[in-house]
Every structure is written in C-alpha cells, then in structure tokens.
Amino acid sequence: MLETLSATQIITAASALAGSMLTGIVSIILFWINKRFDERKHRQQIIIHAAIKEWNRSFDLAKEYQKAGQQMGIPPLDLHLIHQLKLAELLSDQKLSTDNLEAKLDEFNLFTTTASKWYKENRTQGF
C-alpha cells in the first residue's frame, strides 16, 4: 500500500513546503512593517492636528487682545509643531516615570525654549 517516495517527489514536496514557509515569513514581516508605518502616520496626523488647533487658539486669542487694544505675538505654526512633536515624544517614552519626570520636563522646556529663542532671533514674522 505505501509506496516509497522517489527523490524527485521528496525534493518537490520539500521545495513546496520551503516556499510556503518563506512566503509566510515575508508576509508576516511586511504586515509588521506596514502596521508600524500606519501607527507612525496616525500619530503624526494627530500631532499636526493638535499643533494646528493650538496655533488657531493662539491666533484667536491674539485677535481678542487686539480688540482690547493690546498686542500679542503669535508663535509660527512650525514652532507649535516642534512643541507638539517633543511633547508627544516625552509622553510616549516607555521609560517615563515619576522618578525621571522632572528631568524630562526640564529637557522638554529647554528644547522648546531653544526653538523659540531661535525663531525670535532668525524670523521676522510671528512673536
């Protein structure tokens, strides 16, 4: 009843099995890469949306100040983006804890202060 398999049949079966396994591994890797890309893209969209919303809030506040006869500078949109990107980086840090929170906030403050200072010195619009 059981026939012995020829070398050709064994090689064919092994090749089919190896090909299927390789295809499966490549599919899993591509799925993982696409998922990470989609997560990053979604996070960036959220950050950009938050920065635009914050910039619009600053703009509306500046208009209210202007109606009251006062002047208020508005940081440029890209400074709002830098602020939101750094804040998102801080909040998504897996090693963030109560022990290092103060140091992380100091780093965040230094980062945004440096960016703000650069804009004040090198840009003519805003502020």
Q: What is the mean pLDDT of residues 1-7?
A: 70
Does residue 98 sit in helix, strand or coil?
coil
Percent of the chain exceeding pLDDT 90 equals 46
pLDDT at 1 over 60: no
What are the structure tokens assigned to 36, written together? 């990470």
Confidence (pLDDT) at 126:
52
Q: What is the mean pLDDT of residues 63-92?
A: 88
Query: Which residue carries 């398999």 as its tokens?
Result: 5
* Phi, psi dihedrals of residue 89, rounded to the nearest 5°: -65, -45
Question: Widest CA span of the chain, in angstroms?
Answer: 100
pLDDT at 10 over 60: yes
pTM attached to this predicted model: 0.65
Work out the mean pLDDT of the chain and round it to a whole number.
88
Query: 16-37: buried (b, 16+ CB within 10 Å) or exposed (e) per residue?
Result: eeeeeeeeeeeeeeeeeeeeee
Q: What is the mean pLDDT of residues 9-32?
A: 94
Choose the weakest-confidence range: 19-28, 32-41, 91-100: 91-100
Kindly report the number of other CB atoms within 10 A of residue 125's CB atom.
8
pLDDT at 125 over 90: no
Choose the weakest-confidence range: 4-8, 39-43, 112-116: 4-8
CB 31 within 8 Å of CB 61: no
What are the structure tokens assigned to 70, written together? 């006062």
Residues 6+ apart with CB under 8 A from 72: 61, 62, 65, 66
